[in-house]
Every structure is written in C-alpha cells, then in structure tokens.
Amino acid sequence: MTILMLGDIIGHPGMRTLFSGLTSLVRSTGADVVVINGENAADGFGLSRELAERLFAMGVDVITTGNHIWHDESVFPLMEQDPARVIRPANYPPGAPGKGATVLEKGDVAVGVLNLIGRQRLVMADCPFRKAQEEIRRLRREASVILVDFHAESPAEKEAMGFFLDGKVSAVVGTHTHIQTADEKILPGGTAYITDLGSTGPVDSVIGFDPSLASERVTTQVPHQLKVVDSPATICGVAIVVDVRSGKARSIERIRHYLGV
C-alpha cells in the first residue's frame, strides 16, 4: 500500500495548488491513501467545513490538524463523525471537541490515523507519549496500518516520538513548522519517519506568510497580523510504501511538487 502524507495547507495558495496537482501526484505515486494536515487552510489559521468538503472532493481521505483547528467551529461536527475524516490532536484534555484518531477502510485493509500535538514551546496538552501508547493499543485491534501525525515545534520531541513508536506504527511524520526536513528514513523497527513534512503553501514566503510583514514583526517587535502571501505554491510531504500484513514501512520518499500556480 502506498500512502501520501502531505504537509500543512497554507491558505488559498495551498488549496489552489492542491486542486491543480493532487490528482496527478496521486497518479504518479500510485497512492492508495491521502492524509493531509489542514489546520492552516482557512487564510492561514483554522479549517472551515466548506474547505474540508473541498479537500474530500479532491481525493483526500483524512485531514489531520493541530493547535489552529479551534479557529472555525463550523468544522467541529465533522470531527465528531464516526468514522471521523477530520481529526484533532488526541492529547487535548477531555472535553475538547472531536476525536484524535480514526480508522478508514481501503479495500480489505484497515488504516488507522492518529493525531498528536507536542508540548515543547507549543501548548499545555496532555502527555503525547502516554496518549500515543493508549491510542495505539486501541487502533491495533482494528488496523494493520497505523499512521501518526505529530504536530510539534521541537525536532528533538519529534525524533523522540519516532523512536518511541518505532515498530509499533507504520509511520510517524512531523508537522507544524511548515519547513520540510531532509531526514526521511526507515527506523530500525520498520517505522517510516520524517521530522517535518513541510507545507502545501507559497514558496516565496516566511512559513507561508507575507515576507514584508514577517520582517516588520521581527525588526519592530510589533505583532502585526500575518497574512498568507498569494504566490505559487508547492505540495510537500512523503510517499510511504507499507507492507499491509506486517504494518512495517518498506520505503519513504520525500515529495516537493511544484506546479508554478
């Protein structure tokens, strides 16, 4: 089975390039499953129900998220569905809307997707490592393939999660920083890993946002509201081939798909 896991969608440019390029990317990689982080799809902050439905129409199977998911409540009902196709980090405290994991059926293969959020320089969530153990025990009763999106700031925290879950899941991928890393690998226990998928967003930008506003923020220390810059975007992520019987990854290939739109 081939799985596409794609980085954070940044506003309209990210949605536009997905509309233009996702079908051809799925075809060229032979992807059976598409998972994408959508927490920045709505003008850089949050995800609306309308945008989620557009992503499903494009062929996305599951949308993972992160700390910005709470910006638009219209998407909350989608996170409550069973099975959910939009999930939020599982280690948010009890009472937070939505679900943190889901299982989808692809032919005769059950694929589990788990979303977690880091605590270093990010949010005061529950322990992602303990929550991962709890959720994976449950998912393994239903799914032979398990994918983890760890939405975190710290590379060390992400690497620790990769090794912590090595051999227990098919893939651990990082999101949140919008900068694609070049450390994709298969860990010793057979888990595919990358510290950050990067973003599906504008190329000539500061993590997806207008460079002039970003520069002004750091030079004046005035917290100007960042705006997504309207420029051509890339689709960043990885294509992972998984043995559906063992659940172990056979290969991981980094993707940076530029269409010039």
Q: Is residue 61 part of an annotated ligand binding site?
A: no
Among residues 12, 68, 224, 257, the one annotated as catalytic is 68
Given a contact cutoff of 8 angstroms between Cβ atoms, the answer to whether 55 and 38 are in contact is: yes
Q: Is residue 39 part of an annotated ligand binding site?
A: yes
Q: Is residue 224 part of an annotated ligand binding site?
A: no
Q: Is residue 37 part of an annotated ligand binding site?
A: no
Burial status of residue 105 (CB atoms within 10 A of its CB: 0-12, 13-18, 19 or more): exposed
Given a contact cutoff of 8 angstroms between Cβ atoms, the answer to whether 221 and 5 are in contact is: no
For residue 150, give the 3-state DSSP assignment: strand
- Phi, psi angles (nearest 5°) of residue 217: -60, -45
Residue 68 among the catalytic residues: yes
Q: Is residue 151 part of an annotated ligand binding site?
A: yes
**C-alpha dihedral sign at 150, 154, 159, 160:** negative
Given a contact cutoff of 8 angstroms between Cβ atoms, the answer to whether 133 and 146 are in contact is: no
Strands of the 101-106 sheet, one edge to the other: 101-106, 109-117, 145-151, 171-175, 192-194, 185-186
Given a contact cutoff of 8 angstroms between Cβ atoms, the answer to whether 157 and 118 are in contact is: yes
Q: How far apart are CA 207 and CA 214, in angstroms?
A: 9
Given a contact cutoff of 8 angstroms between Cβ atoms, the answer to whether 196 and 224 are in contact is: no
Q: Is residue 40 part of an annotated ligand binding site?
A: yes
Catalytic residue annotation? 68
Annotated binding site: 8, 39-40, 67, 151, 176, 178
Binding residues for Fe cation: 8, 39-40, 67, 151, 176, 178
